[in-house]
Structure formats: C-alpha cells, structure tokens
A and B are shown apart, each in its own frame.
Chain A
Amino acid sequence: MAPATPQETGDGATANDVRDDTGAPLKSASTAHSTNAAAARLTIALVGNPNTGKSTLFSALCGTPARIGNYPGVTVEKKLGTYSDAHGSITVVDLPGTYSLAARTLDEKVSVDVLLDHQKQTSAIDVIVSIVDATNIERNLYLFSQLRDIGKPLVLVLNMWDRVEPQGMKIDAAGISERLGVPVVTCSASRRRGIPELKQAIRQAAMSAEQQTRAIFPTVLGEALDSEVRQLMQWTADASGTEVEPFVAQRLLMDVDGVLAKQLQLRPGMSGLGEQIAAARTRLEQAKLKVPTCETKLRYQWIRSQLSEFVSQSEGNRETWSDRIDHWLTHRVWGILAFAAIMFVVFQAITQGTAWAMDFITDSIQPWFAGWVEQVLPPGTLRSLVNDGIIAGVGSVIVFLPQILMLFFFIGLLEDCGYMARAAFVMDKSMTKLGLSGKSFLPLMSSFACAVPGIMATRVIESRRDRMVTILIAPLMSCSARLPVYVLLVTAFVPSIKYAGGWIGLQGIVLFAMHLVGAAVAIPVAWLLKKYFFPGATPPFVMELPSYKLPSPSVVLNRVWERGQAFLTRAGTLIFCSAIVVWAAGYFPGNHQPVNELTQRMEGIEASGGDPPAELQAERRKLSSQLIEQSYLGRAGKAIEPMVRPLGWDWRIGVGAIASFPAREVIIATLGTIYSLGGDVDEGDEGLLAAMKQSKWPDGRPVYNLAVALSIMVFFALCAQCAATLMVIKRETNSWRWPLFSFAYMTLLAYLGALLTYQVSIRLIS
C-alpha cells in the first residue's frame, strides 16, 4: 500500500505571501479556500478525545453516516455524513478519537492530513469542530490547543453540559469564548440539546472566516518555539521551493521520530531536514525547552491560565458514585465474577441468541428462493449459477449478519455505559502475557463464536500493533463453523468410552481439546508476530475510565447499524465473489447434459404429484459425483493427493478441504456429493457416516480411522478456510497483504499440525 506521497505534505501552503519576516501576525494559507465560504457547501471536521460523545454528536448532526470506508494505506476508518442548514449542505468528517495531534505513526497522521487539506479523498475543511467533555474540560483542551495552532475557523463544543452542575462544577462558557476568541456551544448530544445552536455557530464561523482569518502566531507554545517554527518554514521554502504550513513545522519540531519528517525528507532538496530539526531541538534544549516534553508542559500551563477564571471545580478527586460502582465491578472477587457473568451473557447471545436467525436464513429463506428459482429456470448452467452460486453466495454473506448485529449491540451497550474500559482494566494483566492489552479480550472471546464480528470488534483497540496481532490470531479461535466438522468426525471415529462413572466421555474430551488447539497455538503465534512483524516497545496503556452512565438507545442502535452496513457493503461483495469462484471451479468443466435431463424428468414426475423412483435419484447422485470429480476442483484435489497423503488423506478429503475455502462447514456438503449422497447432508447424516466408514484405498484398507479423523480436525482447527474472515481482514487492515499472510501462515500451521497429529497418532494406535 502506498502511503500518502511525500509530495502531498505541504501542497496547501504554496503561497509565500502568507509569510511575513517583519514578525507581523501571519495568516494561514489553508484558510484561503474558504474565501467563498459563504458558499452554501461546507466541509467540517469533528475532532475530540475518546469518550467525549463524538459519535453521539455525529449522529445528532447527520443521522447515520452516509459513507464508511478507509483512508488509503492505513487502518483508519473514514466516516462521512451530511446535514443541511438554511444555506446549504454540510459534509461532516468524523476523525478518530485522539488525545493529541502528534503524528508518530501513519495512522495518527491521517487526522493532520485531513485537517490541513492534504488528504485527497476528503474536501478541504472549512471549519474544525473541537468537541470536549465539559466535565473534563482541562484535559480535553489539550487537543483543542493543538487544533487552534492550525489556524482554521474553530468551534468549541462543550458536550455533556448537563453533567457539569451535578458534579459540582461551574463553567462560564461565555467567558471562555471571549478569552479563547472562538465560538463556544454548550451541548448534551445524547439528549439532542444544543444541536441547532451548534449548526448555527458552524455556519457563522465559516461565514466570518473571510473577514477574519485566524492569526496563527503567537501560538500557545511561546515566542522561542514560534521563532524556531518560522525558521524551519523558511528553511523548507529555501530548500525545496515549497514552504510547509506553520502547523506542519510545529509538528516536525515536536514529534520525535515523527512520520511527517520521514516523509518530507524524501522530497527533493529536503534531505537535510533531519539535521535542521535536530539543531533546532538542541537550541531549544539550551533555552530549557526540552522536546518533546516542553509541548505538554507549555500547553497545560496555557490551558490552566486560560481557564482559571472561568472554571471552578469542586475538589478534584473526591469519591463519586461512579467510583463506588467501580469498587464492586473491579473488586478482586466480585469484579471477576461480574466480568465472567457479562461475558457469558454476551457469548450466549451471539451463539444461542442468533442461532434461530441463522437457521432461518439457511433453512427457510435460502431454500425458498432456491425452490422458486427451480420453478422458473430449467435445469442447466444458469439455474446452477443462480442457485448454487448466487443464492448460496448471498446466503453466505447474510448468515453472518445476526452475529455481527448482536455483538455490536452488546459492544455499543458496554461502551456507552462505561463498562468496556473496565473490562479491559480487569483483563489487562492476563492479556499482557500474550503481549496484548485488556482491549483484545472481547474481540478474541467473540471469535470463539465467529471470527468475522470478532475481527470487526478490534476497532476498539487504539494501538495499531495490538490491533493487528489480535486480528491475525482471532481466526485461530475455534469458531462455531468448525463444530459441525468436529461433530461429524468425533461421532464417527472416536470410540464412545466413558470415564468417571459415565460422566466424562472420550468424545467430549476430544471435542473440548479441539477447541483448545487453536487458542493454545495462538499464544506462540502472538509472541512471534510481536517479535518479528510488529517490533517495538510496548505501547502505553494509559486509558481513561469514563464515569458510568445509562446507555443511550440511539447511540447503541447507530453503532449496530453502522457495523452491519460496513460489513455488507465492504466485505459482503468480496465474500460473494469468492463463493461464485468456488462454485465455478466445482461446476466446470463437465458435461452437465445427462444430469440436467435427469433432473427435468424427476421434476416432471414431481410436478404431476408422484415421487421420483429411487433409482433415478441414485443415478443423479452418481452423475453429480462424477461431475465434481472431473471439475477443476476435483482435478485440484487429485493433483494435491501426494501432498495430503502424509496427513492420511485421500483425494476426496483433499477436494473437501479446497472446496471449503468459502466456509469450513462446506466440507460436509462436498463429501456428501463426492460419496454420491447429494449435497444436502449434515453432520449427523447416517448415509455420510456409513459412506465414510466404507471408503477404502485401492489396496482395500479403510481410508478413515481415528488418526485420519484427528488429522482432519486439527487441520480445520488451524486452517483459514473461511472467505468471510479473510475478506473482513482485508477490510479492517485495508490491505490484501494481511489476508494473504493469514491464509499462508494458517494453512502452513494447519498442514504441519495435521501432519504431526496423523504421524504421531497412527504410531500410537498401531
């Protein structure tokens, strides 16, 4: 993936006329585009800390997002919405929640790029809306003070205003507005209060922008730093002919190992940038301004001096009712019990609570459509494409929706009430053993139901490294699609021996062990990924624990809707396409004429009220089985037979494994077709069990025994045979590299695991 090209940085500030060596206030070049801001169309950016109610404000302004996607080359989600006021329509860009605009990574740089109009996919930002949790105004203004240095029209939103007074705080919003020189709107986004006033303030800020472009200097950081910023700007102008914006120069100075400097250095003439920055930092250190810590100190000094007259806080750290809840929910015993109970409910809801919906889709809706198609289309390629390709493909997408919606309902609920941060708090220590943080727990636990919603849930993890590792190990958790494969093989080939007076059965033990295999393998895999693919120091885990509150239904439902939509539009099409490809591989080449004629005859008999004779059905199954053997899929299975022989497999199992690329449980239907039983068998099907037990090698030995069954199960425990998971990884990491990587490493693991299992167990058994 190409990151934003270095040329992008600095494009906005080509005009030398904004610089003034006499020291007079400089004007921001980036406001130039808003000279026609009275024009009806506006683009605004919503920026704020996590837990400030930013997404609530977004939905209060725009309803549901018009577009959700990714910024190119990074994992940051792009969320756009629109609303209209009396003058025209306003596009709202929702930027990820952050505590600082420091751009240490490519992901963090996205916000800077959007705000400075370097991000080609979003239009120039006319107004920045800085949203602040009024009850935490001091810490929240840190980000505001950085936004202020960008120099664009700003609106400050004091959200959660209804909670200020009950907390014993007093805030003089008008005073703050006057002191900071920006419009201040007080809001309670979750109660939809203050929204019309905010819309008005945004429009006014845009309209007045042409009269009063905001002066950038002096910035909050003081003259010593400002003069270094000007010098650096001058140097970039001399070196490359393009001057960087003041804000870019500021970030270049402040962000140690920052990504902006790395990219700008690649520009012609700019190779000396690193030395310039280092020299400037040395000068600053001599003046007792040590980069990077001086920035936080200066900004907080400024914030406290600005606020002291206008904010009175009751004594800061007294115990609140939220603390009292915390005493219970993070208690040594009760905390763990509460956590376990909540996770149990979530897990039950996404497995049991959605089973009826998934069954309804696969057992009622899909067959209904298929039956209808059979009535309108004669047997042939078109009918097969529609039924076995398209309807099955759409079905394989839709079938994930119930679990996704259910999981995100609970995530929305837990996040909005404040428990999510506590769950991470409670589990953090146990997850540090994997090199992850407490935030990875819920995504990984959800992956035991299904990796698709689990991977989508990794959005709550801010650290990119932790998030990537969690995404890559999530598919190893034993999801519910593996269960039918286990059940089929366990009931057929694991002896039903009982221990402890019949309470514990060997079959149950094997089933349980299969669920542990993936989780156990995930531990060394996570360690290796951290060590070799995402090296670096452990990221800080300083996390805010927001006060508990009643969840707002609209926030929760918006979240559910957003995720469902994102899954369908982005991953759904890819899953669908992969289903069609596998259908085609199993259909072509081959002469389907006889089987079609047979089907027509049988349907003719059915239409006249009779039952087609059993010989016809058997004949059709035999033909289908031959067709799949001749197809590309069957040929591929035969071609790989030498490779799967060491696992104890014959070519039929090989075909099943390849055909199950769209979803693991497909192997059962494929084996059903191969053994001439027709495709609609399930894991308890007597015919399939019998056929498997009778299946023999050419020399007469049975194909299946306990060792082969274990080898197949271990393979399916570790393999990545799930197109939906791979496509969701593609969507969430915004790159083809990681799904390919997942597929490669999991297939290798699965192969080696199955090889080891077979070779060891065949020796133990004989």
Chain B
Amino acid sequence: MATLADIAVSCGATIVEIQGDDAIALRLMEMGLMEGDQVQVIGVAPLGDPIEIASRGTRLSLRRAEAMRIEVNPILSADPS
C-alpha cells in the first residue's frame, strides 16, 4: 500500500487509513486528515523533508516519517482540475 510519503509533488491521493493510535496519529486526525479525504502534495522543503500538503482547503506541513503513517490510494490523473 502506498503512503502519502510516496506521492509526487502536485499529485493527489485519497486517504485510506491512518495507522496507529499514538500522539502522531491522533494529531494527524485532529488536524482533519480523515479516511476518504482527498489530499494533494504541494511541495517539498528545500532539504527534502518535511512536505507540504493541501487537505480540504488548508495547507499542512508533515514530516516524511509522519506522512508514512498515512496509507493512500494515488489519484492517477496528475491534474484533477
């Protein structure tokens, strides 16, 4: 299963599951990342980590280690709009 960390810049994905129930998973959910939501990778920090994603109109920064917790289904068409 792909995770959000595998998604290329400006590609979208649908969240399948957020693994675990520790502080990191909980924070991701509190910030509104829920199963079934569409997210898009907006960019990557100059040093390669963290990444910037768009989710329901807001922009979030996640470390790759955190993005790896998020199982996703890639949306194949690179540009949905």
Per-residue contact bits, chain A 515-540, to B (CB 8 Å; 1 contact, 0 not)? 00000000000000000000001111
Contact B42 A428 (CB under 8 A): no
**Whole-angstrom CA separation of A104 from B28 in the bound complex:** 16
Per-residue contact bits, chain A 299-338, to B (CB 8 Å; 1 contact, 0 not)? 0100000000000010111100011001100111101100
Q: Does A740 contact B (CB under 8 A)?
A: no
Given contacts A537-B22, A542-B60, A429 and B34 within 8 Å (CB-CB): no
Shortest CB-to-CB span from B39 to chain A, Å, is: 7
Contact A541 B50 (CB under 8 A): yes
Contact B32 A540 (CB under 8 A): no
Contact A421 B61 (CB under 8 A): yes
**Whole-angstrom CA separation of A326 from B41 in the bound complex:** 13
Q: Does B6 contact A (CB under 8 A)?
A: no
Contact A317 B26 (CB under 8 A): no
Query: Residue of B at shortest CB range from A304?
Result: B34
Query: Residue of A at shortest CB range from B12?
Result: A317
Contact B32 A138 (CB under 8 A): yes
Specify which chain A residues have a CB less than 8 angstroms from the CB of B80 in the assembled complex. Answer: 315
Contact B42 A426 (CB under 8 A): no
Contact B49 A316 (CB under 8 A): no
**Whole-angstrom CA separation of A330 from B44 in the bound complex:** 7
Contact A296 B29 (CB under 8 A): yes
Contact B23 A104 (CB under 8 A): yes
Q: Does B16 contact A (CB under 8 A)?
A: no
Contact A545 B59 (CB under 8 A): yes
Query: Residue of A at shortest CB range from B50?
Result: A428
Given contacts A316-B38, A316-B55, A426 and B21 within 8 Å (CB-CB): no
Contact A317 B21 (CB under 8 A): no
Q: Does A63 contact B (CB under 8 A)?
A: no
Contact A544 B52 (CB under 8 A): no
Interface size class of B (residues with CB under 8 A): 35 or more
Q: Does B24 contact A (CB under 8 A)?
A: yes
Shortest CB-to-CB span from A19 to chain B, Å, is: 30
Contact A428 B63 (CB under 8 A): yes
Instruction: List CB contacts (< 8 Å) of A97-152 with chain B.
Output: 99-100, 102, 104, 135-136, 138-139, 142
Specify which chain B residues have a CB less than 8 angstroms from the CB of A212 in the assembled complex. Answer: none
Specify which chain A residues have a CB less than 8 angstroms from the CB of B65 in the assembled complex. Answer: 538
Contact A542 B61 (CB under 8 A): yes
**Whole-angstrom CA separation of A297 from B21 in the bound complex:** 12
Contact A540 B24 (CB under 8 A): yes
Specify which chain A residues have a CB less than 8 angstroms from the CB of B54 in the assembled complex. Answer: 316-317, 323
**Whole-angstrom CA separation of A395 from B58 in the bound complex:** 47
Shortest CB-to-CB span from A314 to chain B, Å, is: 9
Query: Residue of A at shortest CB range from B81?
Result: A318
Instruction: List CB contacts (< 8 Å) of B1-25 with chain A.
Output: 12, 18, 21-25
Contact A426 B45 (CB under 8 A): yes
**Whole-angstrom CA separation of A546 from B81 in the bound complex:** 23
Contact B57 A425 (CB under 8 A): no
Specify which chain A residues have a CB less than 8 angstroms from the CB of B59 in the assembled complex. Answer: 322-323, 326, 544-547
**Whole-angstrom CA separation of A542 from B38 in the bound complex:** 17
Given contacts A316-B54, A326-B43, A540-B24, A429 and B61 within 8 Å (CB-CB): no
Instruction: List CB contacts (< 8 Å) of A266-319 with chain B.
Output: 290-293, 296-297, 300, 313, 315-318
Shortest CB-to-CB span from B47 to chain A, Å, is: 4
Q: Which of A136, A300, A326, A331 contacts B58 (CB 8 A)?
A: A136
Q: Does A543 contact B (CB under 8 A)?
A: yes
Contact B46 A540 (CB under 8 A): no
Contact A545 B60 (CB under 8 A): yes
Q: Does B78 contact A (CB under 8 A)?
A: no
**Whole-angstrom CA separation of A537 from B27 in the bound complex:** 14
Contact A102 B31 (CB under 8 A): no
Contact B56 A542 (CB under 8 A): no
Contact B40 A541 (CB under 8 A): no
Given contacts A428-B50, A429-B50, A542 and B28 within 8 Å (CB-CB): yes
Contact A537 B23 (CB under 8 A): yes
Shortest CB-to-CB span from A132 to chain B, Å, is: 13
Among B29, B42, B56, B58, find the residue whose CB has the most chain A CB atoms closer than 10 A: B58
Jot down 29 A-B pairs with beta carbons below 8 A, ordered by A: A100-B30, A104-B23, A136-B57, A136-B58, A138-B32, A139-B32, A291-B21, A292-B21, A293-B26, A296-B30, A300-B29, A316-B55, A316-B57, A317-B54, A323-B59, A326-B59, A424-B61, A428-B50, A428-B61, A428-B63, A429-B47, A537-B24, A538-B65, A540-B27, A540-B66, A542-B62, A543-B61, A544-B61, A545-B59
With A139-B31, A540-B24 known, 9 other A-B pairs at CB within 8 A are A256-B21, A291-B21, A293-B25, A316-B54, A426-B46, A432-B63, A540-B27, A541-B62, A543-B60
Closest 8 CB pairs of A and B: A296-B29, A429-B47, A139-B32, A317-B54, A545-B59, A540-B27, A540-B24, A317-B40
